[in-house]
Amino acid sequence: MIEAVGLTKRYGAKTAVYNLSFQVRPGTVTGFLGPNGSGKSTTMRMILGLDAPTAGQVTIGGYPYRKLPNAPRQVGALLDAKAVHGGRHARNHLLCLAQLSGIPARRVDEVLGVVGLQDVAKKRSKGFSLGMGQRLGIAAALLGDPQVLLFDEPVNGLDPEGILWVRNLMKSLAAEGRTVFVSSHLMSEMALTAEHLIVIGRGQLLADMSVRDFISANSADFARVRTPDTEPQQREKLTAALTEAGGQVLPEADGALRVMGLALPRISDLAHDADVRLWELSPHQASLEEAYMRMTQGAVDYRSTVDPRAGLQEQLPPGAAPQSQPPVPGHGQPGWYAPPPPQQGGQPFAMPQGAPGAPAGAQPNPYAGAAPQAPASPEMTKRDSEEAR
Ligand SMILES: Nc1ncnc2c1ncn2[C@@H]1O[C@H](COP(=O)(O)OP(=O)(O)OP(=O)(O)O)[C@@H](O)[C@H]1O
């Protein structure tokens, strides 16, 4: 098992990871999700002893990585598939790694077979495609037949067949009772691969729950309702009736309404009672990707000037002023579509009560104001950590 407690990493004034606490258990694939720059790689490097935490700790089987007896046989990792001596043959690269860790040479041929690189074993890896490089990195992770495996974005650059292969490999490794921790920024991929999810944004824990719970908590049902385009007053009348009945009503770009919190027959009855004709009444489900975007939207470092909601929540049509809509909590404020970021109070996402990773509200939050000035850093720099690899 991997266990992080209050894990924090600062690079000078930059807080990359803040007060992360979570457990990664054996026997299941645990997905580690977060937008770019959210701190996934930093966390993985701390798990592997390549970066030292500024505060808190992380252990594998009860030991910090650097104190783990025979670590290469217990823990395998794919961090950066490009970190390979390109001049070496694939097999030689693995042989070198095996020799360093006292792993028998026959294991090299076994893992080359597992990842499907046996036919190119004598080729120099600098001629490898991105996908072949990923496979070689995965082979290196599997060399010591470890019980604990960490994969940082393992499907990057893979074609659909490669993605399916990685997905099945992760599942079969977990089914053998291993601890499998896989980072990704793709919710859709993790929903298919992982059973448990740890979601972070700006280095902080946003969710720690099973995929099943995530789906039921976040795939909210809603209805699309459309009144005759030629009669805008009908739309307003229906909006008022639905809101009064406890529904949440949002405008869609094509003039339809998105209604949450009311069943379809009830919407139909309310429309009938209000004497409003309907052109459309259809059931929908918010996608997981949408829920994930919503969850991480307040915690994205790099944001396009184009609204990221485009394509998820349709934009208001010209002339459809928000004030003509019923009051929706937060609607009209910047980022209304996103849940409040943690520092605004409260945990916006469904977290199991007493979850080990629930953010500690009492602790000072470095994102709430100006980033705290750390003393000139004695910590490892990126180059240090790359050299340590
Ligand atoms: N050595 C370093 N020095 C300074 N800042 C760093 C260093 N390493 C990471 N960071 C910063 O810490 C934050 C977290 O980075 P990290 O690479 O862990 O995120 P990530 O979730 O893995 O992102 P991605 O999905 O893009 O790989 C980023 O803002 C990054 O710029």
Is the Cβ atom of 66 under 6 angstroms away from ligand 1? no
Ligand 1 center to residue 202 CA distance, Å? 10
- Whole-angstrom distance, CA of residue 389 vs CA of residue 45: 10
Q: Measuring from atom 23 of ligand 1, which residue has the nearest CA?
A: 37
Is the Cβ atom of 296 under 6 angstroms away from ligand 1? no
pLDDT bin (cut points 50, 70, 90) of residue 86 is low
Is the Cβ atom of 11 under 6 angstroms away from ligand 1? yes
Q: pLDDT over 90 for what percent of the chain? A: 49
Q: Measuring from atom 26 of ligand 1, which residue has the nearest CA?
A: 36
DSSP 8-state symbol, 323: G
Q: How is residue 214 written in tokens?
A: 């995530």
The pLDDT of residue 131 is 82
The pLDDT of residue 233 is 94
279, 238 contact by CB (below 8 A):
no
Is the Cβ atom of 125 under 6 angstroms away from ligand 1? no
The pLDDT of residue 85 is 60
pLDDT bin (cut points 50, 70, 90) of residue 279 is very high
Is the Cβ atom of 377 under 6 angstroms away from ligand 1? no
Is the Cβ atom of 16 under 6 angstroms away from ligand 1? yes
Give whole-number Cα distances, 307 to 143, 201, 294, 311, 312, in Å.
45, 19, 13, 9, 10
The pLDDT of residue 333 is 30
- Whole-angstrom distance, CA of residue 63 vs CA of residue 294: 36
Mean pLDDT of 292-298: 76
Q: pLDDT over 70 for what percent of the chain? A: 74
DSSP 8-state symbol, 308: T
DSSP assignments along 57-102, one per residue: EEEETTB-GGGSTTHHHHEEEES-TT-S-TTSBHHHHHHHHHHHTT
Is the Cβ atom of 76 under 6 angstroms away from ligand 1? no
Q: Measuring from atom 29 of ligand 1, which residue has the nearest CA?
A: 37
Is the Cβ atom of 40 under 6 angstroms away from ligand 1? yes
Ligand 1 center to residue 38 CA distance, Å? 7
The pLDDT of residue 340 is 30
Is the Cβ atom of 381 under 6 angstroms away from ligand 1? yes
Rounded to whole angstroms, the maximal C-alpha distance in the chain is 80
DSSP E strand boundaries for the chain:
2-11, 14-24, 29-33, 55-60, 75-78, 148-152, 179-184, 196-201, 204-210, 221-226, 248-251, 257-260, 280-285
Helices and strands: H and E segment counts in the chain = 12, 13
Give Cα 26 to chain centroid, integer Å: 19
| pLDDT one-digit tens code per residue, 326-373 | 332 223 332 222 233 333 333 333 343 334 434 443 344 444 333 333
Is the Cβ atom of 122 under 6 angstroms away from ligand 1? no
Nearest C-alpha neighbor of 149 from the set 168, 125, 177: 177
Is the Cβ atom of 39 under 6 angstroms away from ligand 1? yes
Is the Cβ atom of 42 under 6 angstroms away from ligand 1? yes
Ligand 1 center to residue 211 CA distance, Å? 25
Closest ligand 1 atom to residue 41 Cα is 22
Three-class DSSP labels, 106-164 = HHHHHHHHHCCCHHHCCCEHHHCCHHHHHHHHHHHHHCCCCCEEEEECCCCCCCHHHHH
211, 25 contact by CB (below 8 A):
no
More confidently predicted of 347 and 16: 16
- Beta pairing class for 179-184 and 29-33: parallel
- Whole-angstrom distance, CA of residue 143 vs CA of residue 246: 58
pLDDT bin (cut points 50, 70, 90) of residue 304 is low
Ligand 1 center to residue 382 CA distance, Å? 9
17, 58 contact by CB (below 8 A):
no
Is the Cβ atom of 382 under 6 angstroms away from ligand 1? yes
Per the listing, tokens 């690269």 go with: 93
Residue 205 has pLDDT above 60, yes or no: yes
Residue 21 has pLDDT above 50, yes or no: yes
Residue 93 has pLDDT above 80, yes or no: yes
H/E run at residue 174: helix 160-175
Pick the CATH number of 2-216+346-388 from 3.40.50.970, 3.40.50.300, 3.40.50.1820, 2.60.120.340: 3.40.50.300
Query: What residues contact 107, with CB distance under 8 A and at least 6 apart?
Result: 98, 143, 145
Nearest C-alpha neighbor of 36 from the set 177, 161, 173, 202: 202
In DSSP terms, 199 is beta-bridged to 33, 207
DSSP 8-state symbol, 356: T
| pLDDT one-digit tens code per residue, 139-184 | 999 999 999 999 999 988 788 888 999 999 999 999 999 999 999 9
Helix, strand, coil percentages, rounded to 5, for the chain: 35, 20, 45
Of the listed ranges 22-26, 229-233, 336-340, 376-380, the one predicted with least confidence: 336-340
Closest ligand 1 atom to residue 43 Cα is 18
Of the listed ranges 37-46, 81-90, 214-223, 290-299, the one predicted with least confidence: 81-90
Is the Cβ atom of 36 under 6 angstroms away from ligand 1? yes
Q: How is residue 57 written in tokens?
A: 């700790």
The pLDDT of residue 107 is 92
For the chain, which residues make up each domain, given as ranges?
2-216+346-388
| pLDDT one-digit tens code per residue, 63-83 | 999 999 888 889 999 987 566
Ligand 1 center to residue 293 CA distance, Å? 19
Ligand 1 center to residue 17 CA distance, Å? 9
Ligand 1 center to residue 212 CA distance, Å? 29
Query: What residues contact 300, with CB distance under 8 A and at least 6 apart?
Result: 35, 36, 201, 308
Ligand 1 center to residue 82 CA distance, Å? 17
Residue 389 has pLDDT above 50, yes or no: no
Of the listed ranges 3-7, 195-199, 212-216, 239-243, the one predicted with least confidence: 212-216
Closest ligand 1 atom to residue 44 Cα is 18
Closest ligand 1 atom to residue 380 Cα is 1
Burial class (CB in 10 A: 0-12, 13-18, 19+), 195: middle
